[in-house]
């Protein structure tokens, strides 16, 4: 038998074996195989196919396969069968099958076959992909866990003989390799496939046949187009009846999609694990029974769990496993409230759909936030995810932030200044506040809710113009022009006006919305204080001006009056010697009038400075005006008409009639000049007005006014009027709007009125005339009927000798001539030393001494004392160019016989001599009637005809040391203290004061100390005095405000402070009371 015959004889057997093997593959293949007739009835089905339809193999035969196809898949299935019957290559499609009431998904492949003869049957492969489809749905639903399952595809299958030649291949194999079944049968893999792939298959076939056992592997192969495809291949040996390996049978399932899904799943799980491990939260995943499915390391670290307790599996049920006690001990032990923890866990396991959040507190101070959410797959809860976050530091930081925020809020709320934050809103009231501290409520009177309801602009700025300005300023601020300490006036809720200093800046929140941050400082009190300070400085400046004017006035009074004394005196003498028919008498009268005008000019300066002579007595202002009426009418313009309206029942005024007369005259002349060349009316009226404290305070430039009844003198004109700038200067000395004016008329009025403790109110406007309203404090005394001045008797003659002492030769000679004219002999001396010597020689002859105040070498005061040492009863008439008060103040304790002011007039000289040398005459007393006017001016009571009072005797044990570098201040202060019964020692500077205090320390009861002096100033002198005697009483005097001095010398032993422009009455009374108590 040749080889061919041998093969022919073996072939049937081999084919039988192959057929048996194929039958085994058919029967037990994992996919369903069906054979159908041309009408679609089932002729044969394998085990997997019958199970797929839910039938037994026997009951499945003869049933139409189409009845198992779902309605929507029947058309596709019919098309598949038609293609197969027409002999097309095997096709596959996905259809839906019905298995009982269940819908399953399958991939169906169909191919037609001839069963011998002309009968045709169909071969179906049915792969159940229901699980895959469901897995894909599950993967799509869970998204985070798995990627969609890969679709399965029909499997290539083949048979090989022992030599490796293909005996049979299926259509799937053909599609993979690109070769037809006819081309493949009888050929080896080397003839059909790439060499490397063929060699690999050959090696695997050889290994299978040698091992005589099936092998399974996954290979990466390339299809006919070069695309790589992963296969899960099963290669089994084929045996002959004798058990010899005669070939191999293989089937390969395309697992490319599965491999891709596995790779993706591996990557996804890796990412999930990395995510779990990288998160800051502890994550625990459990199933519905509480078994641990997954957890990260952070969870173990947070709960400090041993690794052995975290083995994942069904044997480790968190609530019920054998390790429950250990796990619970580790979990519950550190908690403050473990019962609450367990209760929440038990509650959530009974509510699978519930979510939860709570906070866990640990005994060691840690704080965890616990979140719990159900875990869902396909919308169904399959477990629970617990998330634990350690928020200990965050809570501490939040607490710190809360504390800091509370601290900042307290700072904002308790800030002395107002602080607020606002932003614009489109609707009324257009500005809304979100921050508003307590000071804002205090400053504005509104709460934040009230201001948001009423509106900032509407409430703070009721004046439309100011409101428009504020809105415009807000617009510019929004554009970046911040307010920097700008001053605005607002209206409080109670209607009060307040001055605010406002600073703003624009800040933006996270949304970019602009907010205005505003700081508001209430400067109302500061403004008021500044205004008061300015007013005080103005008054100080005015006081200094008055002091300068006073010095000037004193100099003028002395020097100018000395000059006028000769002119007036000799004019009087010449006129008296001429017969009444002599024409020269009229010339002399003109000279006297001119000299008197010069004297009046001096008196006006003295009046303004407060050094004018005030003879205080109850007077009627209406009566004074009536007495001066004729003079008023001849003093004004012929085009002016007077309109008098004088009250007849006017209260009296404590004042000087001549000074008030001067006020009326000056105001009338001023009104006449205001009319100019035009006709007009000057209305003069009197009446009363009661002033309140507020009205008194509102009158500028007049301190010390008190509430009460005032007599009103009003002079109104219809003249040109004055503007505001002119009104501010009308009382300034030498200020005038008249081409030939001296600027002293209204200045004198101001000085006289202030000297009477009165005030002036002025109202005027250009073109509307001017009204002066002079106010004098009303007196409860009755004004006496006016009586003419006493006229000396023309027949009176004196006898004896008068000593005339003056350093001016003209004045000495004039006085000598006047005195001799009435019968006296006269001795003259040109200075004090000469006068003392003459008095020693002629003391028994001299009846009276006419003594000048100011002289070189030995002045008037020194001369008087020397004369009193020689003769204690000497009668001295003081003569001075100064006013009477300034002159006699230095002689109050010595007892003057009289005073005569230069320039001398004959009548006055005779009257003074008559009074001084009369047998009944006593020393004339000038008593203080009240506080000084201004700048040291004195107000004296009018002496009565029987006045016999004398100054209080000076007490050596009650001595006051007066320290001031200004001689006039020293003299006037000395006189003031001496009038009150004190002795006085003066010093011109600090060094002299210390020296004199050491000399007279045992009798000095008080030191009146000027603050500002050259050399050793007041402060240094005070310190030195306190070193000598820590209990010394010191009155510190200055032009500064008393409060300012008190603040400057706080803590130092200053007994009292005194403003130089204020009277010393109160301080002297305090000193007297203190000494009496001692």
Nearest in space to 595 (alpha carbons), one of 853, 911, 904: 904
**How confident is the model over 185-204, as a mean pLDDT?**
81
Domain 415-522 adopts which CATH fold? Beta-Lactamase (3.30.450)
Q: List, for residues 423-461, the tens digit of each pLDDT value.
A: 888 887 778 898 998 888 999 999 999 989 888 888 888
Distances in Å between the alpha carbon of 211 and those of 236, 301, 358? 10, 53, 65
Distances in Å between the alpha carbon of 671 and those of 679, 680, 718, 787? 12, 10, 8, 30
Structure tokens at 314: 């069904």
| Lowest mean per-residue pLDDT among 122-126, 425-429, 602-606, 762-766 | 602-606
Nearest in space to 90 (alpha carbons), one of 155, 23, 185, 20: 155
Bigger pLDDT: 906 vs 743: 906
Report DSSP state, residue 89: P
Q: Which residues, including other chains, have CB under 8 Å from residue 529's CB and lie 6 or more apart? A: none
Does the pLDDT at position 804 exceed 90? yes
Domain 12-128 adopts which CATH fold? Beta-Lactamase (3.30.450)
Q: List, for residues 269-307, the tens digit of each pLDDT value.
A: 667 677 777 777 888 888 887 777 778 888 888 888 777
Continuous H helices in 193-337: 195-211, 256-278, 297-303, 324-332
Q: What is the CATH number of domain 528-581+789-944?
A: 3.40.50.2300
What is the rounded CA–CA span in Å between residue 915 and residue 896? 12
Level-2 CATH architecture, domain 157-254: 2-Layer Sandwich (3.30)
Per-residue pLDDT, 323: 57
Q: What's the half-sphere exposure (Cβ side, CA atoms, 13 Å) at 929?
A: 23
What is the rounded CA–CA span in Å between residue 469 and residue 106? 85
User: What confidence tier does 348 reach under pLDDT thresholds 50, 70, 90?
Assistant: confident
Q: Which residues, including other chains, have CB under 8 Å from residue 677's CB and lie 6 or more apart? A: 639
Domain regions of the chain by residue span: 12-128, 157-254, 279-394, 415-522, 528-581+789-944, 621-779, 952-1078
Per-residue pLDDT, 1: 53
What is the rounded CA–CA span in Å between residue 299 and residue 995? 95
Does the pLDDT at position 899 exceed 90? no
| Lowest mean per-residue pLDDT among 579-588, 641-650, 1021-1030 | 579-588
What is the rounded CA–CA span in Å between residue 655 and residue 634? 25
Distances in Å between the alpha carbon of 594 and those of 84, 552, 567, 575? 158, 22, 10, 15
**Three-class secondary structure assignment of 812-829:** HHHHHHHHHHCCCEEEEE
Does the pLDDT at position 743 exceed 80? no
Are 778 and 711 in contact, with CB atoms under 8 Å apart?
Answer: yes
**How confident is the model over 533-553, as a mean pLDDT?**
68
What is the rounded CA–CA span in Å between residue 1020 and residue 389? 76
Q: Which residues, including other chains, have CB under 8 Å from residue 903's CB and lie 6 or more apart? A: 561, 562, 563, 564, 565, 566, 567, 568, 569, 595, 599
CB atoms within 10 A of CB 729: 13
Per-residue pLDDT, 24: 72
Cis check for the bond before 756: say yes or no (omega within 30 of 0).
Answer: no
Bigger pLDDT: 365 vs 19: 365
Measured in degrees and rounded to the nearest 5, phi and psi for residue 686 equal: -130, 160
What is the rounded CA–CA span in Å between residue 114 and residue 629? 162
Spell out the CATH class of 621-779. Answer: alpha beta
Instruction: Name the packing angle between helices 860-870 and 832-842 (round to 10°).
Output: 20
Per-residue pLDDT, 119: 67
Report DSSP state, residue 942: P
Domain 279-394 adopts which CATH fold? Beta-Lactamase (3.30.450)
Q: Name the helix (H) or strand (E) containing 619.
A: strand 614-619
Structure tokens at 533: 């300070």
Are 110 and 84 in contact, with CB atoms under 8 Å apart?
Answer: yes
What is the rounded CA–CA span in Å between residue 266 and residue 285? 19
Does the pLDDT at position 936 exceed 60? no
Per-residue pLDDT, 557: 61
CB atoms within 10 A of CB 901: 22
Per-residue pLDDT, 542: 65
**How confident is the model over 670-696, as a mean pLDDT?**
86
Are 464 and 440 in contact, with CB atoms under 8 Å apart?
Answer: no
Per-residue pLDDT, 300: 81
Per-residue pLDDT, 1062: 59
460-465 contacts at long range (C-beta below 8 A, 24 or more positions apart): 460/490, 460/491, 461/490, 461/491, 462/491
What is the rounded CA–CA span in Å between residue 620 and residue 484? 59
User: What residue has token string 């074996």?
Assistant: 17
Q: Name the helix (H) or strand (E) containing 694.
A: helix 693-698
Per-residue pLDDT, 3: 61
Q: Name the helix (H) or strand (E) containing 238.
A: strand 228-239
What is the rounded CA–CA span in Å between residue 858 and residue 853? 10
**How confident is the model over 800-821, as a mean pLDDT?**
87
Does the pLDDT at position 147 exceed 60? no
Per-residue pLDDT, 713: 92
DSSP assignment of 1007-1073, as one string?
EEEES--SSS-HHHHHHHHHHH-TT--EEEEESS-HHHHHHHTTTS---EEEETTS-SHHHHHHHHH
What is the rounded CA–CA span in Å between residue 446 and residue 457? 13
What is the rounded CA–CA span in Å between residue 304 and residue 323? 16
Give the best-scoring range by mean pLDDT among 695-699, 942-946, 991-995, 1058-1062: 991-995
Bigger pLDDT: 611 vs 517: 517
Per-residue pLDDT, 685: 93
Are 230 and 220 in contact, with CB atoms under 8 Å apart?
Answer: yes
Are 971 and 889 in contact, with CB atoms under 8 Å apart?
Answer: yes
What is the rounded CA–CA span in Å between residue 942 and residue 613? 11
Per-residue pLDDT, 1077: 59
Bigger pLDDT: 615 vs 256: 256
Measured in degrees and rounded to the nearest 5, phi and psi for residue 796 equal: -70, 135
Does the pLDDT at position 727 exceed 80? no
Nearest in space to 396 (alpha carbons), one of 365, 362, 363: 365
- Across all residues in the chain, what is the average pLDDT? 78
Q: List, for residues 814-864, the tens digit of each pLDDT value.
A: 888 888 888 899 999 999 899 999 999 998 889 899 998 888 778 888 888
**How confident is the model over 1052-1057, as a mean pLDDT?**
76
**How confident is the model over 654-660, as a mean pLDDT?**
83
**How confident is the model over 1015-1023, as a mean pLDDT?**
86
What is the rounded CA–CA span in Å between residue 587 and residue 1015? 55
**How confident is the model over 1023-1036, as a mean pLDDT?**
87
Side by side, which strands form the sheet with 32-37?
42-45, 32-37, 120-128, 102-114, 91-99
Per-residue pLDDT, 582: 80
Does the pLDDT at position 11 exceed 70? no
User: What confidence tier does 102 reach under pLDDT thresholds 50, 70, 90?
Assistant: confident
**How confident is the model over 712-719, as a mean pLDDT?**
91
873-877 contacts at long range (C-beta below 8 A, 24 or more positions apart): 874/839, 874/843, 874/846, 874/849, 875/847, 875/848, 875/849, 875/916, 875/917, 875/921, 876/848, 876/849, 876/851, 877/848, 877/849, 877/850, 877/851, 877/912, 877/913, 877/916
What is the rounded CA–CA span in Å between residue 861 and residue 338? 109
Q: What's the half-sphere exposure (Cβ side, CA atoms, 13 Å) at 1062?
A: 17
Nearest in space to 816 (alpha carbons), one of 989, 423, 563, 825: 825
Distances in Å between the alpha carbon of 739 and those of 127, 179, 594, 672, 720? 132, 138, 21, 15, 15
Per-residue pLDDT, 266: 66
User: What confidence tier does 885 reach under pLDDT thresholds 50, 70, 90?
Assistant: low
User: What confidence tier does 669 reach under pLDDT thresholds 50, 70, 90?
Assistant: confident
Angle in degrees, CA 319, 325, 330, rounded to 5: 100
Level-2 CATH architecture, domain 952-1078: 3-Layer(aba) Sandwich (3.40)
Per-residue pLDDT, 629: 78
User: What confidence tier does 1059 reach under pLDDT thresholds 50, 70, 90?
Assistant: low
User: What confidence tier does 938 reach under pLDDT thresholds 50, 70, 90?
Assistant: very low
Residues 267/273/274/279 CA torsion (nearest 10 deg): 150
Does the pLDDT at position 319 exceed 50? no
Q: Do domains 528-581+789-944 and 952-1078 have the same CATH topology?
A: yes
Residue 764 bridge partners (DSSP): 770
**How confident is the model over 1059-1076, as a mean pLDDT?**
68
**How confident is the model over 896-922, as a mean pLDDT?**
76
Q: List, for residues 401-423, the tens digit of each pLDDT value.
A: 888 878 878 888 778 889 999 88
Does the pLDDT at position 606 exceed 80? no
User: What confidence tier does 324 reach under pLDDT thresholds 50, 70, 90?
Assistant: low
Per-residue pLDDT, 608: 56
**How confident is the model over 545-556, as a mean pLDDT?**
63
């Amino acid at each position: 038998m040749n080889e061919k015959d041998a093969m022919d004889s073996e072939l049937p057997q081999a084919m039988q074996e192959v057929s048996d093997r194929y039958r085994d593959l058919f029967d037990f293949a994992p996919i369903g195989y069906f054979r159908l007739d041309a009408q679609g009835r089932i002729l044969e089905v394998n085990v997997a196919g019958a199970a797929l339809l839910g039938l037994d193999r026997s009951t499945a035969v003869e049933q139409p396969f189409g009845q198992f196809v779902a309605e929507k898949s029947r058309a596709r299935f019919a098309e598949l069968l038609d293609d197969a019957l027409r002999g097309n290559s095997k096709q596959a499609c996905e259809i839906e099958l019905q298995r009982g009431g269940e819908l399953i998904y399958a991939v169906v492949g169909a191919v037609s076959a001839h069963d011998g003869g002309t009968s045709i049957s169909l071969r179906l492969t049915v792969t159940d992909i229901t699980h895959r489809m469901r897995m894909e749905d599950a993967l799509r639903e869970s998204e985070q866990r798995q990627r969609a399952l890969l679709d399965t595809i029909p499997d290539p299958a083949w048979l090989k003989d022992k030599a490796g030649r293909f005996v049979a291949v299926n259509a799937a194999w053909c599609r993979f390799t690109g070769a037809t079944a006819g081309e493949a049968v009888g050929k080896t893999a080397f003839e059909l496939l790439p060499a490397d792939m063929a060699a690999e298959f050959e090696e695997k076939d050889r290994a299978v046949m040698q091992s005589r056992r099936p092998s399974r592997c996954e290979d990466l192969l390339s299809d006919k187009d070069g695309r790589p495809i992963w296969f899960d291949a099963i290669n089994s040996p084929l045996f002959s009846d004798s058990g010899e390996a005669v070939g191999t049978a293989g089937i390969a399932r395309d697992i490319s999609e599965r491999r891709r899904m596995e790779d993706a799943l591996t990557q996804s799980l890796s990412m999930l694990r990395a995510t779990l491990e990288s998160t800051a939260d502890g994550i625990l995943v459990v199933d519905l029974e509480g078994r641990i499915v997954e957890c990260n390391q952070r969870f173990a670290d947070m709960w400090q769990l041993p690794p052995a307790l975290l083995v994942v599996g069904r044997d480790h049920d968190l609530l019920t496993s054998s390790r429950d006690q250990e796990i619970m001990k580790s979990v519950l032990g550190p908690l403050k409230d473990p019962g609450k923890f367990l209760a929440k866990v038990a509650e959530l396991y009974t509510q699978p759909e519930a979510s939860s959040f709570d906070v866990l507190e640990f005994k060691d101070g840690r704080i965890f936030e616990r979140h719990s959410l159900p875990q869902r797959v396909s919308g169904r809860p399959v477990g629970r995810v617990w998330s634990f976050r350690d928020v200990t530091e965050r809570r501490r930081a939040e607490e710190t932030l809360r504390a800091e925020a509370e601290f900042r809020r307290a700072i904002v709320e308790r800030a002395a200044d107002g602080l607020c934050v606002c932003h614009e809103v489109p609707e009324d009231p257009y500005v809304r506040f979100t921050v508003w501290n307590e000071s804002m409520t205090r400053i504005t009177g509104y709460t934040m809710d009230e201001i948001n309801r009423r509106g900032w602009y509407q409430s703070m700025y009721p004046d439309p113009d100011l409101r428009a300005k504020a809105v415009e300023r807000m617009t510019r601020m929004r554009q970046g022009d911040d307010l920097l300490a700008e001053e605005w006036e607002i209206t409080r809720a109670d209607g009060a006006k307040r001055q605010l200093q406002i600073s703003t800046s624009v800040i933006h929140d996270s949304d970019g919305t602009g907010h205005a941050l505003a700081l508001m400082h209430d400067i109302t009190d500061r403004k008021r204080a500044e205004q008061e300070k300015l007013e005080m400085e103005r008054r100080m400046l005015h006081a200094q001006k008055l002091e300068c004017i006073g010095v000037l006035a004193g100099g003028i009074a002395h020097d100018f009056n000395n000059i006028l004394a000769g002119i007036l005196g000799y004019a009087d003498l010449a006129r008296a010697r001429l017969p009444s028919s002599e024409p020269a008498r009229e010339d002399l009268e003109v000279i006297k009038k001119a000299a008197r005008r010069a004297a009046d000019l001096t008196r006006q300066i003295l009046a303004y400075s407060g050094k004018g002579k005030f003879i205080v007595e109850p007077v009627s202002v209406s009566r004074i005006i009536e007495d001066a009426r004729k003079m008023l009418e001849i003093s004004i313009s012929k085009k002016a008409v007077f309109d008098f309206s004088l009250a007849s029942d006017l209260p009296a005024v404590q004042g000087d009639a001549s000074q008030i007369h001067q006020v009326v005259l000056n105001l009338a002349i001023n009104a006449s000049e205001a009319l100019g060349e035009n006709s007009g009316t000057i209305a003069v009226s009197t009446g009363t007005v009661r002033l309140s404290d507020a009205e008194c305070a509102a009158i500028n430039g007049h301190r010390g006014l008190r509430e009460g009844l005032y007599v009103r003198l009003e002079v109104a004109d219809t003249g040109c009027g004055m503007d505001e700038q002119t009104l501010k200067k009308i009382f300034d000395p030498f200020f005038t709007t008249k081409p030939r004016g001296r600027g002293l008329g209204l200045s004198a009025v101001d000085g006289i009125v202030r000297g009477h403790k009165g005030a002036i109110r002025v109202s005027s406007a250009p073109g509307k005339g001017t009204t002066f309203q002079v106010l004098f404090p009303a007196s409860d005394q009755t004004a006496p009927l006016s009586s003419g001045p006493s006229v000396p008797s023309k027949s009176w003659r004196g006898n004896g000798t008068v000593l005339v002492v003056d350093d001016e030769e003209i004045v000495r000679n004039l006085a000598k001539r006047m005195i001799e004219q009435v019968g006296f002999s006269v001795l003259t001396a040109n200075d004090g030393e000469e006068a003392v010597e003459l008095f020693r020689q002629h003391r028994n002859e001299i009846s009276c001494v006419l003594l000048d105040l100011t002289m070189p070498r030995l002045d008037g005061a020194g001369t008087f004392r020397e004369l009193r040492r020689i003769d204690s009863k000497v009668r001295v008439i003081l003569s001075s160019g100064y006013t009477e008060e300034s002159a006699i103040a230095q002689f109050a304790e010595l007892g003057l016989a009289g005073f005569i002011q230069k320039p001398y007039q004959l009548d006055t000289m005779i009257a003074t001599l008559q009074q001084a040398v009369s047998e009944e005459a006593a020393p004339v007393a000038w008593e203080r009637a009240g506080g000084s006017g201004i700048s040291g001016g004195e107000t004296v009571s009018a002496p009565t005809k029987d006045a016999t009072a004398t100054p209080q005797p000076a007490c050596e044990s009650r001595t006051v040391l007066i320290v001031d570098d200004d001689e006039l201040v020293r003299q006037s202060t000395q006189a003031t203290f001496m009038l009150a019964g004190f002795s006085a020692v003066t010093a011109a500077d600090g060094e002299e004061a210390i020296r004199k205090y050491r000399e007279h320390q045992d009798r000095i009861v008080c030191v009146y100390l000027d603050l500002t002096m050259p050399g050793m100033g007041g402060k240094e002198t005070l310190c030195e005095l306190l070193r000598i005697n820590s209990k010394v009483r010191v009155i510190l005097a200055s032009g500064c405000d008393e409060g300012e001095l008190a603040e400057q010398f706080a803590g130092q032993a200053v007994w009292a402070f005194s403003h130089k422009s204020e009277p010393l009455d109160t301080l002297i009374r305090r000193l007297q009371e203190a000494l009496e108590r001692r």
